[in-house]
Structure formats: C-alpha cells, structure tokens
Chains A and B, each alone.
Chain A
Amino acid sequence: MWKRTIQGKTLTFHLAGIHNQNFLMRDEETGSFWQQVSGECVAGPMRGAQLERVHNDELTVARFRAESPGGQVLLGEPGYSDSYERDWEPGIDKLPTVVDTRDSPLPPRALVAGVAVGGKARAYEASRLAAERVILDELGEVPVVLGRAGDACCEHSTAASMARRCCSRLPMASICATRRRGACGTSGAARSRGRRRPRGCV
C-alpha cells in the first residue's frame, strides 16, 4: 500500500504490466511505470522516484471490527463475485516461479516474514516463527527481534510492545506473523507470496 501523492502530484494508478511475477502500475498523470512490491518508478518521466509506504495490517475482518468499530470495509464490485476466490493460495502454490531458489533450503513459495534493515535483508520461515514465538537475530549491525503474535494479538503495537519488553535497549525491527501469512511490521517488512517477488534472500 502506497501514498500516491509524490512531488506535489497526486497520481492515479492502473494495472499495466508484469515484471518477474510482480505487477507494474502506470500512472495516468505522467505515464510512468511503478513496481508494485517496491514502490519504485522503473520507467518514464518519474523514473527513480520512490513512493512512500503506507503502514497496513493484515488481519481478520472480525479483528478489524473489534479494533475499529467505526471502520469501513471495501465491498466487491457487483457481478464479480465469481472472480473473488477466498481459497486461492493452494492453487498459487503449484504455479512456477521465476526466481531461482535452488540454493535455498526453502521451497520457492514458502511463506516467509522478510526483514530489510541497514542494507541487508533476511527471510524467516513463517512456520518457524509460529513454533518459536520469538526469534532474536542480528542483521548487519542491527539487533532484530521477531515476535509472532497469534490470531488473538496480531497487531503491530502488540509485537512492538512485546519486543520492547523482551529487549528494551535494542534498536529493533519487529514483525509479527499471523497464522496464515506475514502480517505487520516495520523497517521495510516485505512478504513473498503468490505473485509477489521475494525481496532479499530466501
């Protein structure tokens, strides 16, 4: 999710292409092309510009309702209900990938929580996070703590406060992962699943 106001212009984006299984967007105003997963402008008059990330959480609609009683939920377009698949991930898991992961111990579509900080990136398998609850690690010079908040507490603030309790003096990048997929985090957390391109090492 990205802010679409940049350099004084508010852009309107359209789906416009594919780059290594991650989609490209094109804005109406300048005709530039933008990579979805990184927010970087890859071609056109704004090439090199970087969209600002908007923090968002992936959570169940029940939890959203509890946390934001006045919140609004996007409705599907009438007539498109056949196109909306609730359980499409098993199908996606079988599709080929364009990233060579033969050197990796993980299968190409393994669900991971990604942390990018201090110019380095590392991926943590979601199933390991689920089993270990808290992982302490170091990325470059930066100490990192990953906490898995279960279904009952998957929100950034929970993970952050948990991390702070565990190791209050550390600069940290915290991430929490839900049972189903990587969820919320800071410091450029990136997920790699489905059509998204893995960023960093897997």
Chain B
Amino acid sequence: MPSHRRPFVLLGLGALLVALATLVTPLWVMRPFRPQGPTELAVALWVLRFGPWLLLGAGLMAVAAVVRAWPGGWWRRIGAVVMLVLTLGAGMLSRINVFEKMFEPMPAPRFAGASESGLPDAAIVMAVRVGEQARAYPVEVMAYHHVLNDVVGDAAIVVTY
C-alpha cells in the first residue's frame, strides 16, 4: 500500500540525509589546500554548531519511521531499522573532531628546565614571559599539536602554531 509505505520511507531517507549532511558538509568545505569562501565556511560552521540539534531531529525522524513501518511486516521493519542504524552511525561519526584525531591535543603539558629538554641548541622555540615566569614552546612540538592551553604566571594563554 503506497500510502503506508511512503511516509516511513520518506521519514527514514530524510533522517539519513540530514545525518549524512551533518557529517559530510564540514569535512567537504574544510578540506586542506582549497580556499574556503565566506558563505560555504559560514554554512560549515553553522552545521558544526547546530549539529547536535540536526542529529536529534534526524534520530527522531528515523525512530518515527520505524514506528510507522512496524505494522507493515518484517521487510518494512528491517528497512526502517537499517535506515535508523545508518542514521545513528552517520550521527556518531559526525561528532568526531577529525582535526583533533589528526593532531592530538595536549591536555596535560609537561615542562622541564631548558637544559633538560633534550632539544639540540639550534631548535627553535616560541618564548613567552609573564612576570617572573618564562616558558618556551618548541616549534617542532607545536607544529604538530597546533593548540596548547596553558597558564604562565597569572595569565591564561593559548599557544598556537
């Protein structure tokens, strides 16, 4: 019966489409070595910001599709559940910060005296002084991790490279 089939198929596919768009849009727009125009960047960042709400909507739609499909027999149940699983899978993948997977953060930085750092004398560091405290961040370390939240003296700073 098309009148029965259509709502659950549309709901399920719609849910899957929303979850996939949430997953793919930021990754597609923010690929390395390509320029990001202002509009596409705004869209990508909007999707990242409101991703949880989009995914909540997608999840509810997918569940509704299962509920609708349930009285229609096993094939419809299986179809709707597959779309639900795919929707949830895409949703979970979209919550992963790929940038922090590629370049792991340093939540608990460790420091040593300049003589005990193990760096060769010619290694380049970014040095900062706040009051009496001086700290140096080797470029070779920061060029990988990129972002480090630190406190030097009484100043909370973010070291970036």
Interface residue tally for chain B (C-beta within 8 Å): 65
Interface segment out of the listed A62-70, A116-124, A127-135, A142-150: A62-70
> Do B149 and A74 touch (CB < 8 A)?
no
**How does the 8 Å CB contact mask read for A98-121 relative to B, with 1 for contact and 0 for none?**
100000000000000000000000
> Do B141 and A84 touch (CB < 8 A)?
yes
What is the chain B residue whose CB lies nearest that of A26?
B48
The verdict on A96 contacting chain B, using a C-beta distance below 8 Å, is: yes
Interface majority SS (helix, strand, loop, mixed), chain B: mixed
Q: Smallest CB–CB gap between A6 and chain B, Å? A: 10
Interface segment out of the listed B60-68, B71-79, B129-137: B129-137
B residues less than 8 Å from A80 (CB atoms): 104, 144
Q: Smallest CB–CB gap between A86 and chain B, Å? A: 5
> Do A95 and B33 touch (CB < 8 A)?
yes
> Do B127 and A56 touch (CB < 8 A)?
yes
> Do A20 and B36 touch (CB < 8 A)?
yes
Q: Smallest CB–CB gap between A100 and chain B, Å? A: 9
Q: Smallest CB–CB gap between B44 and chain A, Å? A: 7
Q: Count chain B CB atoms within 10 A of each CB in A5, A51, A72, A80 and give the residue with the most.
A: A72
In the bound assembly, the distance between CA atoms of A194 and B141 in angstroms comes to: 15
In the bound assembly, the distance between CA atoms of A163 and B128 in angstroms comes to: 22
Given A58-B125, A73-B117, A85-B140, A12 and B149 contact (CB-CB distance below 8 Å): yes
> Do A98 and B97 touch (CB < 8 A)?
no
What is the chain B residue whose CB lies nearest that of A194?
B143
Interface residue tally for chain A (C-beta within 8 Å): 63
In the bound assembly, the distance between CA atoms of A97 and B134 in angstroms comes to: 35
A residues less than 8 Å from B33 (CB atoms): 21, 95-96, 98
What is the chain A residue whose CB lies nearest that of B126?
A56
Q: Smallest CB–CB gap between A90 and chain B, Å? A: 14
> Do A18 and B32 touch (CB < 8 A)?
yes
What is the chain B residue whose CB lies nearest that of A45?
B49
In the bound assembly, the distance between CA atoms of A115 and B133 in angstroms comes to: 28
Interface segment out of the listed B12-20, B87-95, B108-116: B108-116
The verdict on A57 contacting chain B, using a C-beta distance below 8 Å, is: yes
The verdict on B56 contacting chain A, using a C-beta distance below 8 Å, is: no
Q: Smallest CB–CB gap between B54 and chain A, Å? A: 14
**How does the 8 Å CB contact mask read for A52-92 relative to B, with 1 for contact and 0 for none?**
00111111111011011111111111001001111010000
List residues of A whose CB falls within 8 A of some B CB. 1-5, 10-21, 23-26, 31, 33, 36, 42-44, 51, 54-62, 64-65, 67-77, 80, 83-86, 88, 95-96, 98, 178, 180-181, 194
List residues of B whose CB falls within 8 A of some A CB. 26, 30-36, 41-42, 44-46, 48-49, 97, 99-100, 103-106, 109-115, 117-129, 133-149, 155-160
Q: A-B pairs with the 9 shortest C-beta distances?
A: A68-B134, A71-B134, A62-B121, A65-B114, A73-B117, A72-B111, A98-B35, A43-B45, A18-B30
